Amino acid sequence: MTGAIWNLLLGLAWVTLSGDFSGLNLVVGLVFGYIALLLIEPQVEALKGYPARIPRILGFIGFFIKELLMANLKVGFDILTPPWHMSPGVIAMPLAARTELEITMVANLISLTPGTLSLDVSDDRKVLYIHAMFLDDEEELRRNLKEMEYRALELFR
């Protein structure tokens, strides 16, 4: 968190000093700020782990967009063609997420990928009930969901 604030401050300092108050220049400042933080990370205790987090977040966004597009095509194909290829059902997924925030994030991400919709969390917060549209290959689906959860949790820990 301190890392993010320092990065923002460095970006703002860049904008003020270069005197060009445009959005693009702020992005440039943020990139230079990030490089500076990356260089001094070994010396400063408070910055530990911040530089490694940014590529992870970007990688996660890329992964998420890929999932979103692929699954949207699948659902779209099923809506457009007359016979139903889907085999919907409700499955229970054991959660690795523990805190309320983590569970919310994981449930939201699962809801956002087409083909899966999080229905409810069990009262003891151990299992997430998911309505899935394509259950023909349940193992594959569970693996995908687990990978998604693992990648999402990596961002918080």
Partner 1 sequence: MIEFVKGTFIIAGALLMLLASLGILRLPDLLTRMHATTKAAALGVILIMLAVAMHYAEVGVSARAFAIIVFILMTAPVAAHVIGRAGYFVGSKLWSGTVKDELRPNYDPLTHELKSGMESIENTQRQPRDTDPD
Q: How far apart are CA 151 and CA 111, in angstroms?
A: 16
- Between the alpha carbon of residue 103 and those of residues 19, 98, 121, the distances in Å are 43, 7, 9
**Residue span binding partner 1 (CB under 8 A) among the ranges 9-17, 29-37, 38-46, 111-119:** 111-119
Classified as helix, coil or strand, 147 is: helix
Whole-number minimum distance, CB 110 to partner 1, in Å? Answer: 8
The continuous run of DSSP H or E covering 65 comes out as: helix 50-80
Whose tokens are 């449930």? That residue is: 107
Whole-number minimum distance, CB 25 to partner 1, in Å? Answer: 10
Whole-number minimum distance, CB 99 to partner 1, in Å? Answer: 5
Cβ–Cβ < 8 Å for 9, 26: no
Between 37 and 97, CB nearer to partner 1: 97
Q: Which of 2, 16, 18, 108 binds partner 1 (CB under 8 A)?
A: 108
Whole-number minimum distance, CB 35 to partner 1, in Å? Answer: 23
Binding mask 41-80 for partner 1 (x = CB under 8 A): ---------------------------xx-xx--xx--xx
Is residue 86 near partner 1 by the rule CB under 8 A? yes
Whose tokens are 């990356």? That residue is: 38
Classified as helix, coil or strand, 137 is: coil
Q: How far apart are CA 111 and CA 130, in angstroms?
A: 9
Binding site for partner 1 (CB under 8 A): 22-23, 68-69, 71-72, 75-76, 79-80, 84, 86-92, 94, 98-100, 107-109, 111-115, 117-127, 129, 131, 133, 135
